[in-house]
Amino acid sequence: MFRGKNYKESAKLVDKQALYDPMDAFALVIKASKAKFDETVELHVKLGVDGRHADQQVRGAIVLPNGTGKTVRVLVFCKPERVEEALAAGADYAGGMELVEKIQKENWFEFDTVIASPDMMGTVGRLGKVLGPKGLMPSPKAGTVTPNIAQAVKESKAGKVEYRLDKTNIIHCPIGKVSFGEQKLFENYVTLIGAIIKAKPAAAKGQYIKSCVTASTMGPGVKINAQKQL
């Protein structure tokens, strides 16, 4: 795999065998960030579960104390009488069937989060095949199917992130930007890893957190000693 000069320079800063204390890990990620834009910092957590079993699924959503640093575009599916409420709470788009058709006919995806009131799920269900693969399908577990639309919109705008296992039993989640500095990244990390630990399935056996790695968009991975998270 070809790696650019900047990546190679950054990689020299990281001891691949070492497990870093969280604060040191984020300081290193910031130091190793060489891109000309404000890189996103992500957390990749490998869990000792088997997500193929329903009783070992790990999924949820949490509002990061310092947000993600990203402007989130929110789409709300609701009845006509609640459109104003959704827009007043900060939603970028709100409506019903007309938005479903816009997505279906125009392949329109100018949004990052989808929220739906429960009475709209029959309509939104038609979009399962297009929203599902993009991770945009609203769900009660993620708090995106809710009668409390205004609160859900405000949380999404404030930096709510959804965490869920991928097929390899790893959770990938943004926890901020390089410009946040290590303290804010650390605070977001503590909130997210705490939520993941709390979500541990009763059926999970053995070591729960197998590994924890942080990296910026273009930078090398830095291993975190997740036992020292709190």
Instruction: Tell whether pTM > 0.95.
Output: no
Distance from C-alpha of 46 to C-alpha of 124, rounded to nearest angstrom? 32
143 backbone φψ class: left, alpha, beta (φ>0; ψ -120 to 50): left
- Antiparallel, parallel or unpaired: β 170-177 and 40-47: antiparallel
pLDDT in tens, 46-104: 999 998 898 999 988 899 999 999 889 999 999 999 999 999 999 999 999 999 999 99
pLDDT for 33: 85
Q: Give the H/E segment covering residue 173.
A: strand 170-177
Dihedral of alpha carbons 19, 220, 189, 25, sign: positive
Q: For residue 9, what pLDDT band results from cuts at 50, 70 and 90?
A: low
Reading the block at residue 51, the tokens are 């997500």
**Contact between 152 and 146 (Cβ < 8 Å):** yes
pLDDT for 186: 96
More confident call, 1 vs 227 = 227
Classify 34 as helix, strand or coil: coil
pLDDT in tens, 132-182: 988 899 999 888 999 999 999 999 999 899 899 999 999 999 999 999 999
| CA distance to 5, 17, 79, 132, 213, per residue, from 14 (Å) | 15, 9, 52, 36, 12
Mean predicted lDDT score pLDDT of the chain:
90
